[in-house]
Structures are given as structure tokens and as C-alpha cells.
Structure 1
């Protein structure tokens, strides 16, 4: 069942007539405009006193991280600060040994059970470090009440030995044993475990590594991946201590595989279904029960802020609108930044407006490591995370939208006041009057620290608010 959020993308004309009027380049207190300022004794609310039960995930890597063999130790030094900032999960790169050995980012899995313990693919440690260092990182995260999410690659294998595959009629790199890329000797594989084989001629048609796509219909493969006590899933959960799963490239195998994995071991689960159609993403949620990365929201933000420079795209169909508990929102990841294709990347100049969008709207937001470590972004991101975990709650109402202005209200819940987000992409400061708030005769201010502006709402809750040029403001009550 889809959980509908109050959302009004089709009321633009009505909002123009009945709701708001705008002034460009306003100056507080100048001209004919009357600004009702709060009394001097009023101050900002303490956002730390509000807890809406939300959290934020950190994608704790980027493509080709450095230093090699020292990544787990580096992250261990950061989890204390991340916990203080409001991060409740960290998503790690694939932790097992890949075909590229000490250079592998893990997306070419060779030995699922080698986490930096065996001399394999010309290295003992993975690119990220040793098994002991991974254990230390997970312990440090758990000590800070941070869950650790494993990146799981369930289809394309790499780094095995060459053998004749009679079902393809040529040699394939499909022999995985102690001497051929599988030093742990667990989950040995031959061509019989990949498509096609003696039990199935089905080939899912993966876009890459088609010759080493595992046949998940085989009981042997199922047992080693998730079904048996000795499986990868149970090893990662019960021995290593992972709390959940990010399923890589689920377009490469059947939906039921993820559901079977989750039924066996549970935990948090999110699928990388790289598809911009929200209907496809929602169907996957219904078929598997896991969350998805909200690529629909990502592309709507890219279109709104970059490609078309039109904020009305922010109101179009996205997964967080219908499945807020299953939509993992993001503005960047290791692939979008590494590939750097203009239609798959939100430009740095627009990143913070995009983060303001996902950190004030429903969904489970993800922060990309490289963005957080950017000195120009970190303080602002910390404030947005605080806002997200405190006053970003309640039903969503879009109060006004046009090509360069977007005003959204979260209605709050109980004693939680909620917020109003005002995004402005024009080169001028913007002001819009007759904005309907839930706060009658109440002083309000911007909690993003982007504009020094305070005002008192009218008796009926209406107010004139402002947003800085090419920026955003996030308003809530004062006390």
C-alpha cells in the first residue's frame, strides 16, 4: 500500500492568485514594506531539544579511496564526530577481496569470505585494510550507536581461473578455488554456477561480466550466498557484525533474490536500482520489501537545479512522496561523481540547495563522503543534518513554486513546530508575502544561517519571508 503524503503539485495557478506575491531584491525595513520584528528578548529555539526519530546515512567512501590499505583506520577516527553530527548509519564499500587485489574497490568480487585475511590476488589486505581493522571500525561505529551497512555484489564475479565453458563454447574466467582467486576455499565455483549451465540456459543479460553472472536458482549458490548457516549473509551478520545491506546493481538479477536474502537475515536493506522512473522503483519496493535509492528524486533535482533550471521539476513524481519510509534520497554517490556525466551529476554550485531539499523532505537522506569532507560544505551540512533530525517532520505542503522559487512547509507534529523551506535560484534576493504558516502571531527566523532575517507572523499565520540569492532559507519558530 502506498503511503500518500499531502502534496499539491497541480495548484500552481491557484497559488499564484490566492497565495503569494513577490518582490525582487528586498531590503529589510526599507521602502513601504512593514517588517514586524520579534521583540529583543525572543531567541532561537534549541534544535537539539527536538528529536523526530530520524537519522542520516553517510556513504563512507568515494571511488578509488586513498590511502590504500588505510581506509578502515581513517574511518574509525571519524565515527565519533559523525555520531555527534547525527549520522546513524555508515555505508561501507564492498569489504571482500576483489580481482584487482589491493587496488580493488570491491565491485569485482573474487572471494566473498576474504576480508583482508588471506594472501589472494597479490595482496593480503584489501584496498581498505585488514580484517582486524574492519572489525575495529565496526566496533567503533557500534559504540557510537551507528549501524554499519555492507555493500553486497550478488551477480558479477571476477578474478577466477580460466576454463572451457561448454555452454558458451569458449574459455571463461569461472574457476574459483584456493589456487584461483578464492583463497578462503569457501564458496568454490565453476562454470556450472554461472549462466548458462547444465540446469539453465537463462542469461539475465547483465550489462557487464555476463559470463560470470551467478545462477541464483541453484540451491548450491543460494546456500553459499544466504540460505545456509555458513552463507555470506550469515557470516557478514553474525561473525563480522554488519547491520544491513546495500544491494549493488540489482538490475543484474531477479527481484526475488533480494527478498530471499532479507527473509533469511533481515536488517536494513536498500537496493541500487538505477532507474529514473518512480513507478519502476515503487514496483521494486512492493516486490521485495526493501528500500531503494530514490533515483527519481535525484534526477528531478538535477533537472530542477542544472539541466532545465526550473524548480517546478521538484514537484514531479518521486518515490519519497509515496514511500517515505522506503526512499533513500541522495545528491551524489561514488558513481555519479566518478563518471561525471553532466546529466548524472548535480553541479557543485547547486549541491547545497539539493541537500537542503532532501534534508527537509521525507525520505532517508544520504550524505556523500566527499561532499561532507569538503570544507566549504561541512558546517552547512552539519546544520542541515541537525534540522533534519529535529524539525523536519509532519506532512508536506508545497506553498509556492515557479521556475526560480520553491516554498515548502512541513506541518510539524505535536509540540514539534515543523519548518518552511524557501529555495531561490535567481541572482537576486527574493521575498514572498502571504505565506500561510501554522504559527499565529509567532516570531520566526532562518535556521539555515543563510539569511539574517526575523519576522513575526500575523494573527492568521501569514507572513512575508525571504531567501538569499541563489540559495535557501529554512524558517521555524522562535521562543
Structure 2
């Protein structure tokens, strides 16, 4: 989802800027294809085996250097246990050098055509983007593209026979690919509307064969170009409430790759319906809002409520913060302790990792996630201030996480899966190394406003 200030920019800019229909270029047929064979990508960590990094935040510095900024970090991220990075929308958008990419104009301009006020995007050039993706792959990381296909921005005005007036639906991108006109947007001769329009922008009609061909079916479709030429390994679909889930499924059926949708809804049943219909993962907004209730509302009982990861863990992407929302402020590290010890595929937000939180603590939790957090989950105790859960182990011994939101140290007896076994706190917050009883019970502790994670030596 995008910030609403784009709507204001759209209104102010679109009336003063026009794109000449005559200034159309075509790509050379010799365009290099990078990183598109299984052998070249064989060294990547399986997506979902580690933790995803959201490699941007809203209003990253303009000036075309963001791809180089991220490039300098990918090896360290890989060393820490990150398995994939999610990039912002990479193509030229209406607001050119100032756009975060969520107002797409030319899907094939990655910072090489002089249009919309700049050659480079806010993030850099096509050469820098491909270089970043190459290095990420060499470092074992997959790269996820942010796909915005609900709406477009920056078209010229044209007479629209379907509305009886004029609309900003005449798109003539300098890449020479995916020209669009009124017929490609709602309403048109084939389809009056779909699930939702965002902010008054022209709303793409996915029921038109021409739009399907350019988005995912053609040999040089957006999906195949991003995969085969630019080198992307998966997809994060923006604002999927705006179109039907069959669109994501059709895209994935055509080109494959990890897929996750931004279905902004806290209703678990709705999220589960969408993941099944789209055959894709979804960000676990149900989990997000329950963590907000727990950590901002100081009532850990909220963690007892249903979440997507509890209903369908293989399709749940858990997160604490993203580029659109940062509401869990108090004791945020406790929320990360929660998602990095529980089921689902966790995402770490760039600013949390690089600026706001303790990187060593996050690296420790990433290690715990990748090495100890396996198997089903059993909640052992929950009240206003304390939450204890057990991962029952699959490829490891499992773990017990103890989250303490009170102002004092807490201790509690819990039943483990280990009999007569020495355990320790892998966070280092407690120096105890207790031995479980023959009946598998043991006393563990957690410091105030903190957490501990226990497993076998």
C-alpha cells in the first residue's frame, strides 16, 4: 500500500506533464539475460529457510544511491541468516526521481530512460539494480520484487468512450513496451470494475487479454522480464485487495517463484481464503494487530487469539513493522522475539535492523529462528505480563520462549520435551543451566521487559 501523499502529487503533476507519443524507443534484442538458469541460482538459500529482510523504508534517501546502499549490506545480511531481500518497486513511476515506485508508469524503465523528470529512479540505475541482484545471488540471497499491478499513474489525457469524458489513461512509455489506453483500464468494453480502485488512479483491468499478455503471459511480459532479464526470484504483490486472487495465481502458474500478497485485513478467515485462492502466502496482519494489542496494550493475553500462522503457518509472513505502518513501538524487541521463535516466515524491517534496535539482539534471534525454532507450537502459559510457548522440534530439539512484559524478573515451572536434560538460555539473558526433571518439568526465568529462549546444550 502507498502513502496518500501520492494522490496529491498525482493531481498536481499530471496536469502539467505530458509525454510525447513520438518519443518511443525499443530495446535491443541483444539485452543480456542474467541469473536466469537453475545452475546460476543453485547456491541460493531456500526461501523460507531463514528470515526475509525488507530492504527499504518509506522515503529512503533520494538521489539514486539506494541500490548501492543495499548492495553494501547483502553479504552481512546473508551471514546473519537472512535468506531473501524484498526490494521496493524498481521501475520508473510518475514522480520520477522522488517516487517510491508505487505510482508505476513504465514497467520496463529501471533507470535508463529520460522520462518522468529523470533517467535514474529514486533508487538508482538499471546497471546498479542488476549489480545488486547479482551480488545478492552470489551471497546466497533470493531477491523479491514489489509488484504494483492494481493501478498506474502518469498517463496522458485522452477521450474515454467508456466514461463519456476524458481520463489520464494514455500511456506511452519510452521503453516501447506495454502501451496502455482507456481499453486497458476500468471501465471498458469487457469489464466495468474489479475489487477496488486505489486513490483515483487509473485501475488496470486484468480481464483484458492484452493486459494479461503484457503482465505475465508474453515471452517478454513483466513477470518474465523481471525474472529472466533482471534476475528476480519472487514476488510481493501490492494492494491485492484491489483485484481478484486469480490474478496472483495466474502469474505464479506462469512464472513460478515465491509469492506473497499484501492483503491488509486482520480477519484470519479472510487471509486464509486469499492464500488458498491465490496459491500464495500473505502477510499475517492478524498476527500484527494481536501483537499490537499485546505489546502496546500491555496485555499478552492477546497472543492467545487466532492468527494466520496458527491456521496455515506455511502461508504466513509475520512482521513487526513495514514501510506503511510502525505502531508497535513499546518493547518492539519482544515482538521480534515472538515472530522469530514462532511458526511462519518472519520479516525484519530495514530500519529496525540497521538503526532502531540492537543488531546483536536481532542477529541472536535470527540464529535462534534458523537453528532451534522448528516443529509445532504449544502455548504453555499466558497472562497479562507473561507468555511462554514451546516449539516441539522437527530438525532440532525445539525451544521454549519466555516473554516477560513486567518490570521485574519472573520465574515459572514449565513442562518441556526433555527428560533429565541440561538446558540453557540461548539469548544469554539468564545464566541458569537447569536440569529438567525425569518428568520433564523445569523452572525457567526471564528478565524484566525482555525474554529468554531455552533449549538443550
| TM band (smaller chain) | 0.7 to 0.9
- 1:202 and 2:193 aligned: yes
Superposition deviation, residue 310 in structure 1? 1.3
Structure 1's 368 and 53: CA in aligned 2 closer, same or farther, altered over 3 A? Answer: closer
Counterpart CA distance in 2 for 1:476 and 1:395 is 15
What CA RMSD, in Å, does the superposition of the two structures yield over aligned residues?
1.6
Structure 1 contact 451–473 (Cα < 8 Å) conserved? yes
TM-score, normalised to structure 1, is 0.84
Shift of 1:477: 1.6
| Map of 1:245 onto structure 2 | 235
Aligned to 2:386: 405
1:216 aligns with 2:198: no
* 1:205 Cα deviation after fit: 3.4
Unaligned runs of 5+ in 1: 1-50, 338-344
Listed one character per residue, the Cα deviations across residues 365-401 of structure 1 (whole Å, up to 9, x for unaligned) are 0000000002642110000000000010112111111
C-alpha distance in structure 2 between counterparts of 1:278 and 1:363, whole Å: 14
Residue equivalent to 1:332: 321
SS in 2 for 1:83: helix
Of structures 1 and 2, the one with the larger relative CO (CA 8 A, separation 6+) is: 1
Output aligned runs, 1:138-153, within 5 Å. Answer: 138-153=133-148
For the residue of structure 1 that corresponds to 2:176, the secondary structure is coil
CA drift of 1:300 comes to 0.7
User: Shift of residue 200 of structure 1?
Assistant: 2.6
- Contact conserved, 2:294 with 2:302, CA < 8 A, in 1? yes
2:404–2:449 Cα contact (<8 Å) kept: yes
TM-score by length of 2: 0.88
Q: Does 1:165 align with 2:160?
A: yes
- In structure 2, which of residues 178, 181, 190 is the aligned counterpart of residue 190 of structure 1? 181
Alignment-derived partner of residue 7 in structure 1: none
The residue aligned with 1:470 is 449
Q: Indicate the SS of the match to 1:374.
A: helix
In structure 2, the partner of 1:452 is: 431
Contact 1:52-1:391 within 8 A present in 2 as well: no
Rg (Cα) greater in structure = 1
Distance 1:183 1:386 in 2: 46
Aligned residue for 1:354, secondary structure, equals: helix
- Structure 2 residues not aligned, in runs of 5+: 1-45
Mapping of residues 232-381 of structure 1, within 5 Å: 232-307=222-297, 309-337=298-326, 345-347=327-329, 349-374=330-355, 376-381=357-362
In the TM superposition, residue 96 of structure 1 has moved relative to its aligned partner by: 0.2
Three-state SS of the structure 2 residue aligned to 1:270 is strand
Contact 1:429 1:469 in 2 (8 A): yes
Does the aligned pair in 2 maintain the 1:53–1:389 contact within 8 Å? no
User: What is residue 89 of structure 1 aligned with on the other side?
Assistant: 84
- In the alignment, the residues of structure 1 paired with residue 334 and residue 356 of structure 2 have an alpha-carbon distance, to the nearest angstrom, of 16
CA contact (8 A) 1:58 1:367 kept: yes
Distance across 2 between alignment mates of 1:227 and 1:368: 33
How far is the alpha carbon of 1:129 from its aligned partner?
Answer: 0.2
- Work out whether residues 149 and 204 of structure 2, in 8 Å CA contact, stay in contact via their aligned partners in 1: yes
Sort the Cα spacing of 1:233 and 1:369 in 2 relative to 1 into closer, same or farther, 3 A. same
Q: Shift of the alpha carbon at 1:52?
A: 13
1:176 to 140, 164, 171: 171
Structure 1 segments, 4+ long, off by >3 Å, are: none
SS in 1 for 2:271: helix
Q: Which residue of 125, 139, 142 maps to 2:120?
A: 125
Q: 1:197 to 1:67 in 2, by over 3 A?
A: closer
SS in 2 for 1:229: coil
The C-alpha deviation readout for 1:271-295, integer Å capped at 9, x for no partner, is 0000000100000111111000011
**Whole-Å separation in 1 of the counterparts to 2:391 and 2:217:** 43
CA contact (8 A) 1:196 1:203 kept: no
Q: Distance in 2 between matches of 1:261 and 1:302?
A: 33
Secondary structure of 2:293 counterpart? helix
For the 8 Å contact 1:246–1:271, the answer to whether it is kept is yes
Does the 8 Å CA contact 1:54/1:388 hold for their aligned counterparts? no
Report the 3-state secondary structure (helix = DSSP H, G, I; strand = E; otherwise coil) of the residue aligned with 1:360: coil
Deviations 1:413-466 (A, max 9, x none): 36x211100011111111112x11112222222111223333222222211111
Matched, 1:80 2:75: yes
C-alpha distance in 1 between matches for 2:409 and 2:47: 31
